[in-house]
Structure 1
Amino acid sequence: MLQKIFDLLHSHSRFNRQSFPEIEQHIEAVWSDRVAKEPWLFNGAKFRLHSAVLSVMEKGPVAEQAAQNLTQPQRGEGDQLESADKSSDRLAKDEQSCVLTLQLGLTCYKDYLGTNWSREAGRLQSHGQNECADPQAFLAQPLGVGAVMSTADGDVVLLRRSQKVAEAAGLLDIPGGHPEPKMLCPGVSEEAICADLLQGKERAVVSEIFSSVCAEISDEVNVPVSSLSKPVFMGIALNHTSAGRPSAEFYVRCTLTTEEVRDFYRHGGPEAHESTEILFLSRAKMFQLNERSPLWSEMCPSAKGAVLLYQRVMPDC
């Protein structure tokens, strides 16, 4: 899906996480404990996904397919991962029929650790459902990005996560990370960034979401950004090992061959410490991956969600 599908993007403080005194105390306690154990941790602002709505602007086969995709999410058993397809290969042929609206607030890494990644996540979801009719209302819900990156030979890149990372250590993942609000607020400290500063910058927010995908690939795989195509949006995956944390998944082509990508990776990049190994899967093997595949158990939830979306959207067909 091309970038123009994000014709509407609303950023407002009303899309921030809901709060009550007890959870704020819990967040502070969790953060203090983590920083004491890992003093190198730092807090940073993130975009919070409140909701994503695909509006069908006109009737027709493509519009009907878009509506169907919204109401038929995929579920991966065991890992409790759900991926909701917000696009399709046929939708790309008639982009004017649909508009994807993202409603974004702001959150931070500290809030994520104290909500989505906390032992209290289930209770917060129940409280959100009871008080706000929204189980995610009290969760940080930082919006991540991930990339199914294909080499010039048609192989897809997977990275083995380091044992030193906080989540999914040792598992296979796709390149990814987060779009950064600080990129739109030069000269403003992380703590001072607020939704009001993003008013009128909706296009810039969309641009940051897309550009962050290529930036993360470059940092983690160490390939030049100039070798990467414009990201194709596939959908949004929800990771239920972290209480439904959302990640926008993209497809990106690279002009480098598999061996060239391997060589760039071996030389190391800015985030080389986050992974220990690079693997390549052929397109055929990507479509064969499922819960019965031996490799499936080695993959982290975000990678599984991206695979499910890739298999459904087929962006390279």
Structure 2
Amino acid sequence: MASTIFHNSTAAEDPGTAFKLLLSCPSGLPPSRVSVDFGRSFDRIPHPDVILESSIKEIWDQRLLKNPSLYNGTKFRYGGFSLSNSRTVRADYSICLHLGLTDYRTFVGTNLNPLWENFLVSSDDDTVKCQHMANPLGNGAIVETSDKKILVLQRSHNVGEFPGYYVFPGGHSEPQEIGISSHLTNTDSSGQAALNDAVSKEMFDGIVREVVEEIGVPADSLTEPEFIGVSQRVVNVRPTAFFFVRCNLDSTKIHELYSKAQDGYESTQLFAVPMEELERMALRMPGCHCGGFALYKSMTNI
């Protein structure tokens, strides 16, 4: 089912683990069934409250004072989705992701703002509700090993968000990887179509890159990712796109490779676990990753 929003009812004792599913594709969609509509119409709308809006710069400046090495990178902004090639959800449906541009500075100043809830609009439509949020679209991978284990990382205690929590490998697809630093002007229809295709490809290339960098496995050991949906952490309304990927290496070999992973500093330990243990670990995941587990569980229940 691709158009129903699901709400989490667990983890009342830890609000950071609460989530809802914005989009669920339990059959798993290949790149040929996931397209992108990329444009400035899906960018963030500034908040009309001038004082609240000015807090974005204030918070960023405070962060810079504490950590001058912070980099304000450009990110893809999640602006919703639509069904393609069908008026109803069918077995052969396709999904079109609506993406704009945002940056890390605005993410820190809206989603991570202590007053983040003040940026929200009262609406049942998530795109309207979050129109003043940066909402960079993160990504996460459910990686299944050849011995049928799922890979989970434990975050370092030195990271800013959810230190020590369990997470799936992931990060963000990057506009810079395909040469995007801002929106183009005067793009004709063929140019826009090519741009949409490039962004769509980066959605899939980006998650492979994250798995390779964080886990240390070679790219050719991974199958083509399947898109399984978008989850949203209730706290900070942060969205994450999830993918299912198989690795042709067993968990023992993957543990060996992890020790040499390029981005290993963000995590302290790699786990390869069966479903029963994964279910327990999911209780100690940030909400967007709890949602990733729910998407995977829906996939396994087909």
Counterparts of 1:175 and 1:47, CA distance in 2: 18
Q: Which residue, out of 263, 279, 289, partners 1:303?
A: 289
CA displacement, residues 49-91 of structure 1 (integer Å, 9 cap, x when unaligned): 11112246166xx62xxxxxxxxxxxxxxxxxxxxxxxxxxx3
CA displacement, residues 128-162 of structure 1 (integer Å, 9 cap, x when unaligned): 659x9921010001011100001110100000000
The normalised TM-score by structure 1 is: 0.78
C-alpha spacing 1:5/1:166, structure 2 compared with 1 (3 Å) = same
- Contact 1:45/1:180, CA 8 A, preserved across alignment: yes
3-state SS, counterpart of residue 199 of structure 1 = helix
- Contact 2:231/2:240, CA 8 A, preserved across alignment: yes
More helix by share: 1
Counterparts of 1:302 and 1:135, CA distance in 2: 17
Counterparts of 1:182 and 1:224, CA distance in 2: 22
Counterparts of 2:222 and 2:74, CA distance in 1: 27
Shift of 1:299: 2.0
Question: Residue 143 of structure 2 aligns to which amino acid in structure 1?
Answer: M
Counterparts of 1:41 and 1:230, CA distance in 2: 33
- Contact 2:217/2:254, CA 8 A, preserved across alignment: yes
Counterparts of 2:173 and 2:127, CA distance in 1: 28
Summarize the alignment of residues 247-266 of structure 1 with structure 2, pairs less than 5 Å apart.
Answer: 247-266=240-259
Counterparts of 1:194 and 1:222, CA distance in 2: 33
C-alpha spacing 1:58/1:33, structure 2 compared with 1 (3 Å) = closer
Name the structure 2 match of 1:194. Answer: 183
Question: Residue 96 of structure 2 aligns to which amino acid in structure 1?
Answer: T
- Contact 1:154/1:283, CA 8 A, preserved across alignment: no
Given the alignment of the two structures, is residue 57 of structure 1 paired with residue 86 of structure 2, yes or no? yes
Summarize the alignment of residues 230-245 of structure 1 with structure 2, pairs less than 5 Å apart.
Answer: 230-242=224-236, 244-245=237-238
Identity, % of aligned pairs?
29
List gaps (5 residues or longer) in structure 2.
Answer: 1-28
List gaps (5 residues or longer) in structure 1.
Answer: 64-90
Counterparts of 2:242 and 2:176, CA distance in 1: 21
Name the structure 1 match of 2:34. Answer: 6
Shift of 1:46: 0.5
Shift of 1:215: 0.3
Counterparts of 1:203 and 1:222, CA distance in 2: 28
Counterparts of 1:2 and 1:16, CA distance in 2: 26
Shift of 1:296: 3.7
- Contact 1:238/1:305, CA 8 A, preserved across alignment: yes
Shift of 1:212: 0.5
Aligned residues: 266
Counterparts of 1:168 and 1:284, CA distance in 2: 23
3-state SS, counterpart of residue 102 of structure 2 = strand
